[in-house]
């Protein structure tokens, strides 16, 4: 798991690449992957996620 995983932004940075993995859309900027999230109120934000297909592994502090 990336230490920044779970961070949220309102807008994607310029230059992102859109990709799809197992029917899920992701956005990549450098080595950071984002997933679009829509709230119940209809607001949209982007959350930092692990690389598509990457196993979630907890980091020890």
- Token digits of residue 26: 């992701």
pLDDT (0 to 100) of residue 28: 95
- Token digits of residue 42: 């209809």
Q: Which residue has the tokens 């020890």?
A: 60
| Geometric angle at alpha carbon 29, from 26 and 34, rounded to 5° | 35
Looking at per-residue pLDDT, the higher value among 55 and 43 belongs to: 43
pLDDT tens-digit profile of 9-44? 999 999 999 999 889 999 999 999 999 999 999 999
60 belongs to a structural domain:
no
| Containing structural domain, residue 45 | 8-49
45 belongs to a structural domain:
yes
Please state the domain count of the chain.
1
């Amino acid at each position: 798991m990336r230490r920044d995983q779970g961070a949220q932004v309102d807008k994607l940075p310029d230059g992102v690449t859109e990709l799809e993995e197992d029917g899920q859309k992701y956005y990549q900027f450098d080595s950071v992957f984002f997933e679009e999230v829509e709230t119940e109120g209809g607001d949209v934000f982007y959350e930092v996620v692990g690389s598509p297909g990457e196993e979630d592994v907890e980091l020890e502090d």
